Chain A
Amino acid sequence: MEHFNTFFPIFFLFVFAAILAGVFLLLSVLFGRKTKTAAKGDPYESGMKPIGTTRERFPVRFYLVAILFIIFDIEVVFLYPWAVIYDKLGMFGFMEMLVFVVILLVGYFYVLGKGALKWD
Chain B
Amino acid sequence: MDIRSAAIDLGLISPEIIILASAMVVLLLGTVLKSRGLMAFLSLLGLVVGLVLVLQQWSQPQSGYYGMVLKDNFSVFFSVVFIMTAIITLLMARDYLIAKHIDRHEFYTLLMFSTVGMMLMAGSTDLVVIFLGLEIMSVPLYVMAGMNKIDPKSNESGIKYFMIGAFASSFLVFGIALLYGASGTTDLRRIMADFSFLKMQSELLLYSGALLVMTGFAFKVAAVPFHMWVPDVYEGAPTPVTGFFSVGPKAAGFAALLRICVYGFSGMAELTAVFWLLAVLTMVVGNVLAIFQNNIKRMLAYSSIAHAGYILVALTAGGEGAVSSAVYYLLAYMFFNLGGFTIVTIIDSRTGSNSQIDEIKGLAGRHPYLASLLALFMFALAGFPPTAGFMGKFYIFSEAVRNGFVWLTVIAVMNSLVSVFYYLRVVVAAFFGKPDQEFSPVSFSPALFIALLVTAVGTLALGCFPGYWLELSQMSMFPII
Answer yes or no: B101 CB below 8 A from chain A CBs: no
Answer yes or no: A84 CB below 8 A from chain B CBs: no
Answer yes or no: A12 CB below 8 A from chain B CBs: no
B residues 19-71 near A (Cβ < 8 Å) are 24, 27-28, 31-32
A108 to chain B minimum Cβ distance, whole angstroms, is 10
- The answer to whether A92 and B3 touch across the interface, beta carbons within 8 angstroms, is yes
- The segment out of A38-46, A48-56, A57-65, A109-117 that lies at the interface is A109-117
- The answer to whether A110 and B28 touch across the interface, beta carbons within 8 angstroms, is yes
Which residues of B have CB within 8 Å of A112?
31
Which residues of A have CB within 8 Å of B6?
92
Q: Which of A93, A112, A113, A114 has the most CB of B within 10 A?
A: A113
Q: How far, in whole Å, are A103 and B136 apart by their CA atoms in the complex?
A: 14
Report the count of interface residues on A (CB-CB < 8 A): 13
* Minimal Cβ-Cβ distance residue in B for A99: B17
Q: How far, in whole Å, are A112 and B27 apart by their CA atoms in the complex?
A: 12
SS class of chain A's interface: helix, strand, loop or mixed?
A: helix
Contact among B3, B8, B24, B31 with A113 in the assembled complex (CB-CB below 8 Å): B31
A100 to chain B minimum Cβ distance, whole angstroms, is 13
* Minimal Cβ-Cβ distance residue in B for A111: B31
- The answer to whether A88 and B31 touch across the interface, beta carbons within 8 angstroms, is no
Q: How far, in whole Å, are A109 and B350 apart by their CA atoms in the complex?
A: 36
Which residues of B have CB within 8 Å of A110?
27-28, 31
Q: How far, in whole Å, are A93 and B6 apart by their CA atoms in the complex?
A: 10
Which residues of B have CB within 8 Å of A74?
none
Q: How far, in whole Å, are A89 and B8 apart by their CA atoms in the complex?
A: 14
Report the count of interface residues on B (CB-CB < 8 A): 9
* Minimal Cβ-Cβ distance residue in B for A106: B24
Which residues of B have CB within 8 Å of A103?
24
- The answer to whether A92 and B24 touch across the interface, beta carbons within 8 angstroms, is no
- The answer to whether A90 and B4 touch across the interface, beta carbons within 8 angstroms, is yes
Which residues of A have CB within 8 Å of B31?
109-110, 112-114
B36 to chain A minimum Cβ distance, whole angstroms, is 15
- The answer to whether A113 and B32 touch across the interface, beta carbons within 8 angstroms, is yes
B432 to chain A minimum Cβ distance, whole angstroms, is 49
* Minimal Cβ-Cβ distance residue in A for B6: A92
Q: How far, in whole Å, are A92 and B151 apart by their CA atoms in the complex?
A: 47
B113 to chain A minimum Cβ distance, whole angstroms, is 11
Q: How far, in whole Å, are A110 and B32 apart by their CA atoms in the complex?
A: 9
- The answer to whether B27 and A93 touch across the interface, beta carbons within 8 angstroms, is no
B144 to chain A minimum Cβ distance, whole angstroms, is 17
* Minimal Cβ-Cβ distance residue in A for B17: A99
Which residues of A have CB within 8 Å of B28?
106, 109-110, 113
Which residues of B have CB within 8 Å of A90?
4
Q: Which of A90, A103, A110 has the most CB of B within 10 A?
A: A110
- The answer to whether A92 and B27 touch across the interface, beta carbons within 8 angstroms, is no
- The answer to whether A93 and B3 touch across the interface, beta carbons within 8 angstroms, is yes
A residues 68-120 near B (Cβ < 8 Å) are 88-93, 103, 106, 109-110, 112-114
Q: How far, in whole Å, are A61 and B177 apart by their CA atoms in the complex?
A: 38
Q: A113-B31, A114-B31 are in contact. Are A88 and B3 (CB under 8 A)?
A: yes
Which residues of A have CB within 8 Å of B24?
103, 106
B residues 63-102 near A (Cβ < 8 Å) are none
Which residues of A have CB within 8 Å of B32?
113
* Minimal Cβ-Cβ distance residue in A for B24: A106
Q: How far, in whole Å, are A113 and B28 apart by their CA atoms in the complex?
A: 8
Q: How far, in whole Å, are A69 and B442 apart by their CA atoms in the complex?
A: 45
- The answer to whether A89 and B4 touch across the interface, beta carbons within 8 angstroms, is yes
B471 to chain A minimum Cβ distance, whole angstroms, is 39
Q: How far, in whole Å, are A54 and B32 apart by their CA atoms in the complex?
A: 40
Q: How far, in whole Å, are A64 and B3 apart by their CA atoms in the complex?
A: 38
* Minimal Cβ-Cβ distance residue in B for A93: B3
B210 to chain A minimum Cβ distance, whole angstroms, is 25
A112 to chain B minimum Cβ distance, whole angstroms, is 8
Which residues of A have CB within 8 Å of B4?
89-92
Q: How far, in whole Å, are A106 and B24 apart by their CA atoms in the complex?
A: 7
* Minimal Cβ-Cβ distance residue in B for A89: B3
Q: How far, in whole Å, are A88 and B27 apart by their CA atoms in the complex?
A: 35
Contacts A92-B3, A113-B31 supplied; 7 other A-B pairs, CB < 8 Å: A88-B3, A93-B3, A106-B27, A109-B28, A110-B31, A113-B28, A114-B31
| In the complex, the 4 A-B pairs of residues with the closest C-beta atoms, listed nearest first | A113-B31, A106-B24, A110-B27, A92-B4
Sample 10 A-B pairs with CB under 8 A, ordered by A number.
Answer: A88-B3, A89-B4, A90-B4, A91-B4, A103-B24, A106-B27, A109-B28, A113-B31, A113-B32, A114-B31
